[in-house]
Each structure stands twice: as structure tokens, then as C-alpha cells.
Amino acid sequence: MSTFWQNLFARKPATDNLQLAASPLASLAVDMHSHLLPGLDDGAETLTHSLDLLRELRALGFSKLIMTPHIMGDFYKNTPEGIRAALSLLRTAAAEAGLSDVVLECAAEYYLDEWLGRKLADGTELLTFGGERRYLLIETSYLNEPLNLNGTIFNLQAAGYRPVLAHPERYVYFYGRFAEIEKLRQEQGVLLQLNLNSLAGYYSPAARHVAEKLIDARLVDFVGTDTHHLRHTAALATKTLKSTYFHKLMALPLLNNTL
């Protein structure tokens, strides 16, 4: 890593606002998709791990994190109460570590399965972000197209939620079917969230290609780090920010800084 990037992303005291302002990601302000809450899913395992990730995202320029643990059938049985309890623990630890200048909030990343349908049918609370705008982050299988995608979207919207599809560039079943992603956004009103590290080919060359097409078509509404571990933040600092499409992405009217 060059001396410039070492200086830019070196860990510095929370009072160093000049360093935050200099970050290429500072204009986003908000990372609305990450897995920093400890012990809830495949992200941070401990509070120490959470704080390490928080420091790295702060150094990248984020001043607010909306953390979104998975809620998925029988695999990640997270509840609003459990997620808020983990958020409270992290807020306390962050304050003690001198990181209280980063605003910490929570939502969730809901997997489109029968359990989500049941929650919606019986009126169970779903964790949203964006206040009264009620954005709801959803994901699907990476390989298999969900049979209930359109129906679930309709039901979510009828219940007053605004679905945000997490990382559409990573869904293999959409490859070669870009028009269907366009239809989701333009005709069905589903907002789209791109993973920043897709621009560096972190997940696959195919995911990078779809990410670039989404940017060219101006179909990206939100971007997120989808941070699970320090490999993600390292890729952001050393690869993603140098990628060809990063500046094209940042020129779009993204909604992150409205949250």
C-alpha cells in the first residue's frame, strides 16, 4: 500500500475530523448494509471484532452505520429484540473506545423465504431503516430464483414497506437476464443496493460486470460495504477505491446520505 493510502486509512483518534473529510467515501456518510453486530450471524463474532471493523469503516469515511444482520428461516433466527440488544452493547463499547462520533443504528437483511411471508402475514415487526420511509433490505438465494419474488414484493409494498434488494449483481440467476433487474427497479419500484467491493471483482468477474452495467444504467439507489470481516475493509481501501467504476458510482444520485 502506498504512503498516501497508509496515511489516509491509518487508525487515528476520533477527533481527527480532517482525516474523515479527506476520505473518498465521506460524501456517502452512511453505510446501510453491514454485519458488525457481534454474535448474530456470519459477521463479527465478538465485541472486539465489531470494534475493529468499526474503526476501519470510520477510517474509510463513514459517519453512520446501519447494521443489518441476517434473518433467515431456521438458520439465523434473529429477532428485533435480540438485534437491538446487540446494538446497545456495541454502542456502549464504542463509546468506551472513543468511537462515539460514529452513529450506530440497526435494521436487518431479510431472506426471501416462507418465514418472511409468515411474518408479513401475521404482522410481526420487521426492522427497517430510513425512518418513515420504511426501507426494508431483502436478499434471495444466490443461485436459485425465488418462486415468490414478485408476490413477496407486492405484499411488502402493500404493507407499506419499500423493498431494497441487496446486491443484485451477485445473484447468478439474473446473469444474462439484465432486463429483469431493470424491470424490478423501473416497473416494480424495488430499490437496488450495490456492494462496493463488487467493483473490484471481490465476489466474481461476473458480479463485477453486472455491477458496472447497473452503474451505467443508473439503476443504483444505495451502496453498502456488506462488511463481515477485515478482508472486506482491506479490499475497500486497497482495491475498490482504485477501481475504474468507483468514481462513476459516486457520481450517481445515491440515497445513502439521506438516511
Distance CA 176, CA 116 (A): 28
Mean pLDDT of the chain: 92
- Evaluated on CA atoms 99, 256, 44, 4, the torsion sign reads negative
75 alpha-carbon distance from chain centroid: 20
> Tell me, what CATH number does 128's domain have?
3.20.20.140
User: Is pLDDT above 60 for 17?
Assistant: no
Q: Quick one: pLDDT band at residue 12, thresholds 50, 70, 90? A: very low
Residue 106 or residue 74, greater confidence: 106
Residue 259 CA to residue 257 CA, distance in Å, equals: 5
Range of the domain at 237: 3-258
Judged by DSSP in three states, 104 sits in: strand
Least confidently predicted of 13-27, 137-151, 170-184, 208-222: 13-27
196/259 Cα distance (integer angstroms): 18
Residue entry with cell 473518498: 24
Count how many domains the chain has.
Answer: 1
pLDDT single digits (tens) 98-107: 999 999 999 9
Q: Strands, DSSP E only, in the chain?
A: 30-31, 64-67, 70-71, 103-106, 109-111, 135-139, 162-166, 191-195, 222-224
What Cα–Cα distance (Å) separates residue 111 from each residue in 99, 130, 174, 197, 200? 31, 19, 17, 21, 25
- pLDDT surpasses 60 at 23: yes
3-state secondary structure of 59: helix
Average pLDDT over every residue of 246-253: 97
pLDDT digits (tens, 9 = 90+) for 143-165: 999 988 999 999 999 999 999 99
The answer to whether 117 touches 32, Cβ cutoff 8 Å, is no
Percentage of the chain surpassing pLDDT 70? Answer: 92
Q: Which residues fall within 8 angstroms of residue 73, CB to CB, at 6 or more apart?
A: 111, 113, 114, 115
Segment 213-236 mean pLDDT: 98
> Are 245 and 209 in contact, with CB atoms under 8 Å apart?
no
Rounded CA separation 160/233 (Å) = 34
CA 63/CA 29 separation, integer angstroms: 5
